[in-house]
Amino acid sequence: MYEVVIVGAGISGMRLAHLLQQRGIHYCLIDARLRLGGRIVSQSMAEGAQPESGHHRYDLGPSWVWPNQPRINQLTRQLGIKLYPQYDQGTLVYQDQFGSIDTTIDAAPMSGSLRVQGGQQSIIDHLSTKLETERVRLNHAVRSITQGKAGVSVKCATACGAKTIYAQRIVLAVPPRLVANAISFFPKLKPEQTQAMCDIPTWMAGQSKFTAVYSKPFWRNHGLSGYGVSHIGPLSEIHDASPENESRGALFGFIGWPAQQRQALGKELIAQALSQLRQMFGPEAAHPLQVSLQDWAADPLTATVADLEQKAQPQSGSLKELDHIWQGRIMFASAETAKVFSGLVEGALEAAEKAFNDLIEYEVNH
């Protein structure tokens, strides 16, 4: 029996595993996916395209870190990962609802934010080297959690059939809404506890991110920052995502259209996004070396139906319902359960740290 089983190997679960390992606590980290990192994933250039120096990867999930976030700044420093400023020199490209373009506005709302060299995936890669591999189990989708005398039993679906893992305590480093959606509890949780989980939206779960990689950040030569706003779409908000050394140029945009509309378009959506980039940034934008489209709303390990319908705002109003479930044997630790930086990578680290402190306190008192 493990002392702690952590469900969810996003950055929150991985950070908690790292802290428990340093403390010598017998833990197991499981995830339904075949990879670590959860919402953090970055993509290299496709095979066949000339690799760039430094092997930059483009973020399909989170991109930014802010200087006022103590944990992520400290963690990247400790892991030897460099942060660099979001490019913010030049004007915005603004497209109104009639398609008219204005390139005279000076606005840089992401000014001061930082990007991660090599993509945010570098944080996951570095953290994974700190974890003992035999404690990490991928392809384990938790289906149910049952309370026992000495702890909990966790039933998982795996490639080799159903498996049960036993632990004294369980930390759910999975967004609460997904827990309510996919995991059964025996005995049943109180209705207000289940409702509280459903009420906590998963940050950015309904979003879709389009990235186009170019040989150079050509827009910079035209006095443009790469920041764009459009009231037509499909891209509603566009940003410069180029590597710091300019070995390539990249623009990424959030698709502003609702999930059902964009998913019905299939590959046509990519053609429409490129056509929009050409209108906004000029003819060079029509010829990327590579494009990628990551629709998080179509990922059942991130989004539920409820996440497709509303814009997620971080909120922690329902969190108190999730305290002390089964006398504290069940705990939560995803970014959504953080009090200060709810929904963000910093929040995921904050939640991991809180779960760690609570586990240590529990150990001392029992």
Ligand X SMILES: Cc1cc2nc3c(=O)[nH]c(=O)nc-3n(C[C@H](O)[C@H](O)[C@H](O)COP(=O)(O)OP(=O)(O)OC[C@H]3O[C@@H](n4cnc5c(N)ncnc54)[C@H](O)[C@@H]3O)c2cc1C
Q: What is the DSSP letter of 10?
A: B
Question: Whole-angstrom Cα distance, residue 59 to residue 214?
Answer: 15
245 neighbors 115 (Cβ within 8 angstroms): no
Nearer to ligand X, 75 or 279 (CB): 75
Phi first, then psi, for residue 30 (nearest 5°) are -125, 150
Q: Taking CA 130 as the corner, what is the angle to CA 129 and CA 136, rounded to the nearest 5 degrees?
A: 80
| Least gap, CB of 101 to ligand X (angstroms) | 26
Cβ proximity to ligand X: between 144 and 279 the closer is 144
Compute how many other C-beta atoms are within 10 angstroms of the C-beta atom of residue 229.
20
Tell me the C-alpha distance between 257 and 280, whole Å: 18
CA-nearest of 16, 244, 251, 263 to 127 is 16
Closest-CA residue to 22 (of 353, 362, 364): 353
Q: Which two tokens stand for residue 150?
A: 């000495």
Instruction: Give the residue with the Cβ less far from ligand X, 18 or 39.
Output: 39
The nearest distance, CB 223 to ligand X, in angstroms, is 25
**120 vs 272 by CB, closer to ligand X:** 120
Q: Which is nearer to ligand X, 18 or 33 (CB)?
A: 33
**In whole angstroms, how close is the CB of 66 to ligand X at the nearest point?**
8
Q: How far is the CB of 254 from ligand X (least distance, A)?
A: 7
Say if CB 33 and CB 22 are below 8 A apart.
Answer: no
Backbone angles phi, psi at 33, to 5 degrees: -80, 170
Contacts of 196 by beta carbon, 8 Å cutoff, 6+ apart: 176, 318, 319, 321, 322
**Least Å distance between CB 86 and ligand X?**
10
Cβ distance to ligand X smaller for residue 276 or 304: 304
Q: Which CB atom, from 171 or from 229, has the smaller least distance to ligand X?
A: 171
Q: Residue 299 Cβ, how far from ligand X at the closest point, in Å?
A: 9
Nearer of residues 265 and 301 to ligand X, judged by Cβ: 301
The radius of gyration of the chain's CA atoms, rounded to the nearest angstrom, is: 21
State which residue, 127 or 224, has the beta carbon closest to ligand X.
127
Smallest distance, ligand X to C-beta of residue 237, A: 11
* Chain length of the chain: 366
Measured in degrees and rounded to the nearest 5, phi and psi for residue 319 equal -65, -35
CB of 72 to ligand X, least distance (A): 7
Element (H, E) at 127: helix 121-130
Minimum distance from residue 140 beta carbon to ligand X (Å)? 6
CB 55 within 8 A of CB 44: yes
Binding site for ligand X (CB under 6 A): 7-13, 30-33, 38-40, 61-64, 141-142, 173-175, 178, 182-183, 203-204, 207, 209, 296, 301-302, 334-335, 343-348
Q: Which secondary structure element, helix H or strand E, spans residue 72, and what is its range? A: helix 70-79
Q: How far apart are CA 18 and CA 154, in angstroms?
A: 21
Nearer to ligand X, 321 or 350 (CB): 350
Q: How far is the CB of 215 from ligand X (least distance, A)?
A: 25
